[in-house]
C-alpha cells in the first residue's frame, strides 16, 4: 500500500505547486516602490515645453501618475477610464508621455480627450527607468506625502479601478 | 571592360564604408563589463531573455544605462543596485538568498538529502533480504521433493 501512497502523495504536492503557479501572472512583477517616495523628476511640459514640472509640485495631494504613449495600443483601452476620472474630478492625473514624439502625443490627446492636469514629456525614457516602467501603460497612485501606494501594470480596467484604485484613492484622500 | 574595371576601382574606397560594425563602447574593458552585467539582468519585457540578448526597446535603454554608468565610474555592485531599486529582485538571474527564496536555494539540496536517505534505506533493506532468505517449512519440503526427483509438478 505504501508503495503507491508515497508517489501519489509526491504527485499531489507537485500538482498543487503547479496549479498555484498557473494562476500567477508572471507579467505582474511586484514593484519595489510600494510605500517608497516617488522618484524625483523635473520634466518639460508637453504643451508648454518651456515650463518644468516636478513630482514635488503635487505634494499635499493624492494623485495619479499615468505613463502612456501614442504608440501604445493598450493606452487607448484605458483612456476612457482616465477621461471619466478627470470629468468627475476624482483625482488629479499627471500624464507622463513616455518615449514619444510631442506632436504625435498632442494629436492623440486632441483626438481621444485630454484627462491630464499636467502632461510631461520623457522623450528618452530616463524617468521611466527611474520608475521601473517596463510595460506601458502603467499607473501609480501617490499619496499626499509623495509616497507610491499602488502600481497598476498594464491598462486600467473597470475591475482594477473599482476594486483597488478608487477605494485606495478615497481612503488616502480621507487621511 | 577596362572602363568597368576602372569604375569598380574608383568605387573601392566607398566599399570600406559599408558593413563595418560600429563598436558600442570604445574601451574593451568597459565593453566586457557591460556585456557581463547585462547578461546577469533579466529583461522585464521578454522575461526569458537577459538584457544582453533582448532587442526590446527597454533592454536597449537599459544597456545604454549600464554603459553610461560604467563610464561614470560606477562599480558593478552600484549598477546592479540601481537596477534592483527600480525593478526589484526579479531582474536578477541570480536571486539573493532571503526568506522568500530559501526554498529556491535549498530545494535542490533538500531533494538530494531525501534521495540519499531513500537510497540508503532501500540498499539496507535489500542487503538484509539477500543475507537471510526466509524459507518456510513448506519451501524446504518442496525443495527436498524437487531435489529427490519426486516433484509432482513435473510434466
Q: Which residues of B touch A135 (CB under 8 A)?
A: 44-45
The DSSP secondary structure of chain B, one letter per residue, reads -HHHHHHHHHHHHHHTTTTPPPPS-S-HHHHHHHHHHHHHBB-SSSTTSBTTT--SHHHHHHHHHHHHHHHTT--HHHHHHHHHHHH-GGGBSS---SGGGHHHHHHHHHHHHHHHHHHHHHHHHHHHHHHS----HHHHHHHHHHHTT--TT--
CA B87 remoteness from chain centre: 22
Q: What percent of chain B has pLDDT over 90?
A: 34
| Confidence (pLDDT) at B55 | 86
The reported pLDDT for the residue numbered B20 is: 47
When computed from its CA atoms, the radius of gyration of chain B, rounded to whole angstroms, is 35
- A8 part of contact set with chain B, CB < 8 Å: no
The number of domains in chain A is 1
Examine the fold and report which residue of B60, B79, B96 is the final residue of a domain before the chain moves on. B96
In a domain, B63, yes or no: yes
What confidence score (pLDDT) does residue B41 get?
Answer: 92
pLDDT of residue B24: 57
| Residue A50 within any structural domain of the chain | yes
Q: Which residue of chain B comes nearest to A6, CA vs CA? A: B118
Write the DSSP symbol of residue B45.
S
**Averaged over B126-138, what is the pLDDT?**
78
How far from A39 is each of A30, A120, A158, A172, B79, CA to CA, in Å? 17, 15, 28, 19, 17
Q: Tell me chain A's radius of gyration from C-alpha atoms.
A: 20
Say which CATH number the domain at A108 has: 3.40.30.10
Size of interface A-B (CB pairs under 8 A): 35
B71 shares its domain with B127: no
- Which three three-digit cell numbers place residue B153? 509438478
Q: Does A34 touch chain B (CB under 8 A)?
A: no
Residue range A9-50, pLDDT digits in tens: 999 999 999 999 888 877 777 788 899 999 999 999 999 999
Strand-strand pairing, A42-44 and A52-54: antiparallel
Of B84, B86, B90, nearest to A129 by CB-CB distance is: B86
Taking CB atoms and an 8 Å cutoff, what residues of chain B touch A99?
57
pTM: 0.74
Poorest-pLDDT segment among A78-87, A99-108, B36-45, B105-114: B36-45
pLDDT > 80? residue B92: yes
Place of cell 522568500: B100
Q: Would residue A158 count as lying in a domain?
A: yes
B13-54 pLDDT, tens digit per residue, is 555 444 444 455 567 888 889 999 999 998 888 878 898 888
Closest-approach residue (CA) in chain B for A130: B86
B48 domain residue, yes or no: yes
Residue B6: the pLDDT is: 73
Percent of chain A at pLDDT exceeding 70: 99
Which residues span the domain enclosing B109? 100-147
Amino acid at each position: 500500500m505504501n508503495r503507491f501512497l508515497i508517489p501519489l502523495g509526491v504527485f499531489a504536492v507537485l500538482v498543487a505547486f503547479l496549479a498555484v503557479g498557473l494562476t500567477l501572472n508572471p507579467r505582474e512583477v511586484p514593484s519595489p516602490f510600494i510605500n517608497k517616495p516617488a522618484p524625483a523628476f523635473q520634466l518639460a511640459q508637453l504643451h508648454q515645453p518651456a515650463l518644468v514640472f516636478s513630482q514635488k509640485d503635487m505634494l499635499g495631494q493624492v494623485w495619479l501618475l499615468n505613463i502612456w504613449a501614442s504608440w501604445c495600443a493598450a493606452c487607448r483601452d484605458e483612456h476612457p477610464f482616465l477621461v471619466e476620472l478627470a470629468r468627475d474630478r476624482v483625482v488629479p492625473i499627471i500624464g507622463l508621455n513616455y518615449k514619444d514624439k510631442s506632436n504625435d502625443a498632442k494629436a492623440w490627446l486632441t483626438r481621444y480627450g485630454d484627462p491630464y492636469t499636467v502632461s510631461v514629456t520623457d522623450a528618452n525614457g530616463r524617468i521611466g527607468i527611474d520608475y521601473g516602467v517596463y510595460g506601458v501603460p502603467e499607473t501609480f497612485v501617490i499619496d499626499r506625502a509623495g509616497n507610491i501606494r499602488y502600481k497598476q501594470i498594464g491598462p486600467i480596467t473597470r475591475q482594477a479601478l473599482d476594486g483597488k484604485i478608487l477605494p485606495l484613492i478615497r481612503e488616502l484622500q480621507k487621511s | 571592360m577596362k572602363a568597368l574595371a576602372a569604375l569598380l576601382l574608383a568605387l573601392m574606397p566607398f566599399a570600406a564604408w559599408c558593413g563595418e560594425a560600429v563598436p558600442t563602447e570604445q574601451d574593451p574593458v568597459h565593453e566586457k563589463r557591460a556585456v557581463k552585467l547585462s547578461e546577469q539582468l533579466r529583461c522585464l519585457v521578454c522575461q526569458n531573455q537577459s538584457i544582453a540578448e533582448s532587442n526590446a526597446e527597454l533592454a536597449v535603454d537599459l544597456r545604454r544605462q549600464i554603459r553610461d554608468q560604467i563610464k561614470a565610474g560606477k562599480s558593478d555592485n552600484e549598477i546592479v543596485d540601481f537596477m534592483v531599486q527600480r525593478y526589484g529582485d526579479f531582474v536578477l538571474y541570480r536571486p539573493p538568498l532571503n526568506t522568500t527564496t530559501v526554498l529556491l536555494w535549498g530545494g535542490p539540496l533538500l531533494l538530494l538529502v531525501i534521495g540519499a536517505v531513500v537510497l540508503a534505506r532501500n540498499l539496507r533493506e535489500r542487503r538484509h533480504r539477500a543475507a537471510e532468505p526466509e524459507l518456510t517449512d513448506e519451501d524446504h519440503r518442496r525443495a527436498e521433493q524437487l531435489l529427490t526427483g519426486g516433484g509432482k509438478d513435473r510434466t
